[in-house]
A and B are shown apart, each in its own frame.
Chain A
Amino acid sequence: MDSVLKAFIIYVFLWAIMRITGRRALGELSVFEFVLFLIIGGATQRALTGEDYSLVNAIIIVATLALLEVITSLLERRYRLFAKVTRGVPMLVMADGEFMTSRLRQARITEDDVMEAARRLHGLERPEDIRFAVLEASGKISIIPRRPVQAQARKRARASPRSESPT
């Protein structure tokens, strides 16, 4: 009974920590953050197992955590509000090439993070090429480019030599 209770408390506590830490840490893990999460895992693991290294205890803990995951996913499907609370909601951080700076600040991500995602996902170089940038509930940044990007890029390429030429 003790192990089930401990696993439940740790599950809820870790969920709360992840939500408090925010999406920044969840979405784009740096190597350092990855190591940090390993340490968090190690620290909680010891609290979970305590001095009981028996096979049965391990099975109870793993079964409890797995069951909690299943229950959570079922509840998320059934109740939208529950899903919002546990996962969060997506949010626009850029529209029509304009950064929504106050949202970026609140979500603790930078314009550079958005541009990095734009480069990585679509090879976009300028903010103007982005129609929407969405900070997803998962913490990842989705980019919806302006269409058609290539046509615009070509247009710009044609326009730029003229604009640079002396008048």
Chain B
Amino acid sequence: MAEPSIPIEENMRFQRATWKAERAGWVILTLIVAAALLGVFSNGYLSFTQIGDENGFGVSYERFQRKTVTTHLRVNLPADDDNEAHLRIGKSALDDYEIDSIDPRPVRAAADQSDLVFDFDAGSARKLTAFIALRPRRATIARFDLSTPGQKPLTLQALVYP
């Protein structure tokens, strides 16, 4: 580079630093895509989780969620002697979520001490699976309880991305 009349003002030190930053950026992009494939940003292996008992009272849900994007809870409920299943959703859920839909449709819905209580007709089966579509209202770490009579309450925890 002994050329006396270089037409530009070069700064190779800065350029090399830029290339390094560029390479670091590629690594970050790769990590983002890999994390997305694994489900770190919801919808994937790492996001899917299950608590409670598969055959008794249990719930499967996504632990990583995104604001305004509907997420689904699959709740297994044992039925009582009247062939009814009962589900109580803790009031803190309502701060963070809107309930889009509940399937099957509950026969009764009521509020009790700010919790939501739903009763389902389980038919002749001794258990029932309910699907609840929730829409996160805000980016937060959401935490709420689900309970059914005679069983230990389940605490759901989810990270809601903006």
Interface residues of A (CB under 8 A from B): 16, 19-20, 22, 50-51, 84, 88-92, 95-96, 106-107, 132, 134, 144
CB distance from A91 to the nearest CB of B (A): 5
A91 pairs with B19, CB closer than 8 A? no
**What's the Cα separation between A97 and B68 when bound, in Å?**
58
With A51-B68, A95-B3 already in contact, the answer to whether A89 and B10 are too (CB < 8 A) is yes
B12 pairs with A91, CB closer than 8 A? yes
Chain A residues near B11: list those with CB within 8 A.
Answer: 84, 89
CB distance from A48 to the nearest CB of B (A): 12
B interface SS class = helix
**What's the Cα separation between A91 and B13 when bound, in Å?**
11
Check: B22 CB closer than 8 A to any chain A CB. Answer: yes
Chain A residues near B22: list those with CB within 8 A.
Answer: 19-20, 22
Closest Cβ neighbor of A2 among chain B residues: B162
**What's the Cα separation between A134 and B12 when bound, in Å?**
13
**What's the Cα separation between A106 and B10 when bound, in Å?**
15
With A95-B3, A106-B19 already in contact, the answer to whether A20 and B29 are too (CB < 8 A) is yes
Closest Cβ neighbor of A6 among chain B residues: B162
A92 pairs with B68, CB closer than 8 A? no
**What's the Cα separation between A89 and B1 when bound, in Å?**
17
Chain B residues near A92: list those with CB within 8 A.
Answer: 1, 6, 8, 10
Report the 7 A-B pairs with minimum CB-CB distance, sorted nearest first: A20-B25, A90-B8, A89-B11, A106-B19, A91-B15, A132-B7, A134-B8
Chain A residues near B68: list those with CB within 8 A.
Answer: 50-51
Closest Cβ neighbor of B25 among chain A residues: A20
With A51-B68, A96-B3, A106-B19 already in contact, the answer to whether A20 and B26 are too (CB < 8 A) is yes
Closest Cβ neighbor of B16 among chain A residues: A106
